[in-house]
Structure 1
Amino acid sequence: MPANLEVAIEINATPTQVWTVVSDLKRMPQWSPQTRRVIARGGPLHLGSTMINVNRRDVRVWTTRSKIVDLEPNKRIAWRVTENHTVWSFDLEPLDDNTRTRLIQRRDVSGDTTKISKVLIDKLLGGEQSFEKELTTGMRQTLQGIRRSVESDV
């Protein structure tokens, strides 16, 4: 069974400052080594908003569809990927009297993933363990990129 993944980073900015950056999911290609494009649909981000994500690894390109399933400004944003049922999220925790923020990125597969996703990961992406290691590395890179973006704006 796929593993839940979690990576965190501390950012020298308030949760509100971090939220301004992290909630703009169309910027994900700036930070994520796998995401090439995020097309948000339905105007400003809200609960139920849908997105199309274009991902790339080497010469392999694939799209996924997702829907915002949890949204609490300055605290949490989460989206469920239609194709594999995983829930990806960013959680913001205030630190040091709200002057710094702990940003946590998670991939939750507690409901398991789809059979087609498992086959594609096995056949095209090097297997579950290899792919999860790559995802964790990518999550660290994503959080570092977000931190750079936020701290350069502060």
Structure 2
Amino acid sequence: MPKNLEASIEIAASPAQVWSVLTDLGRISEFSPTTRKMIALGGVRTGTFTLNINKDGWKIWPTTSRIVRFEPNQVFAFQMNENRTVWSYELEPTATGTRVTESRVVAPKGVPAPVRGMINVALGGEQQFEANLVSGMRETLARVKAAAER
């Protein structure tokens, strides 16, 4: 059964600086090792749909999502339409900057069987896929940190 996943990082920048990096969807490929594009179909705000292009090695696939939380300098979250997971970035001010927590939360109904089948066939199975997701989260957060601290 798919698990909820989480990774965090401390960034020596204000929540506003980090927010401006995280919500600049045109820069997603600079940060994410998997997401090559995230195109907002309208302004970046709660309710906006996005078209996403993902790549892992030779495998390329599209996904879609909807922004479900957009609270400036606090929370940016989107729900993947294909698997119902919610990805979020929560920003918390600290004495030295901002703590950012990236998470993937699985819907109570779980991931649909066809998506789980695709993960098992094309992406190495759930355990490997989720390990890769956590690794990707850490890589994304490290890249966001580098950009926000420049």
2: distance between equivalents of 1:10 and 1:92? 10
Q: Is the 8 A contact 2:35 2:53 kept in 1?
A: yes
Q: Secondary structure at 2:98's aligned position in 1?
A: strand
Corresponding residue number in structure 2 for 1:34:
34
Aligned residues: 149
Corresponding residue number in structure 2 for 1:77:
76
Q: Is the 8 A contact 2:6 2:102 kept in 1?
A: yes
Instruction: Give unpaired runs (5+ residues) of structure 2.
Output: none
Q: What stretches of structure 1 move > 6 A for 4+ residues in a row?
A: none
Cα deviations across residues 7-66 of structure 1 (Å, max 9, x unaligned)?
Answer: 000000111111111111231110111111111111x21110110110011111100000
Give me the CA root mean square deviation.
0.9
Corresponding residue number in structure 2 for 1:94:
93
Corresponding residue number in structure 1 for 2:102:
105
Instruction: Give unpaired runs (5+ residues) of structure 1.
Output: none
TM-score (norm 2): 0.96
Matched, 1:150 2:148: yes
Q: Secondary structure at 1:55's aligned position in 2?
A: strand
Corresponding residue number in structure 1 for 2:54:
55
Post-superposition offset of 1:137: 0.4
Corresponding residue number in structure 2 for 1:3:
3
Q: Secondary structure at 1:131's aligned position in 2?
A: helix
Q: Is the 8 A contact 2:84 2:107 kept in 1?
A: no
Cα deviations across residues 77-131 of structure 1 (Å, max 9, x unaligned)?
Answer: 11000000000000000001xx500001000004211111100000100000000
Name the stretch that deviates more: 86-95 or 110-119.
Answer: 110-119
Cα deviations across residues 119-150 of structure 1 (Å, max 9, x unaligned)?
Answer: 00001000000000001000000000000000
Name the stretch that deviates more: 108-117 or 51-60.
Answer: 108-117
Identity of aligned residues (%): 44
Q: Is the 8 A contact 2:83 2:112 kept in 1?
A: yes
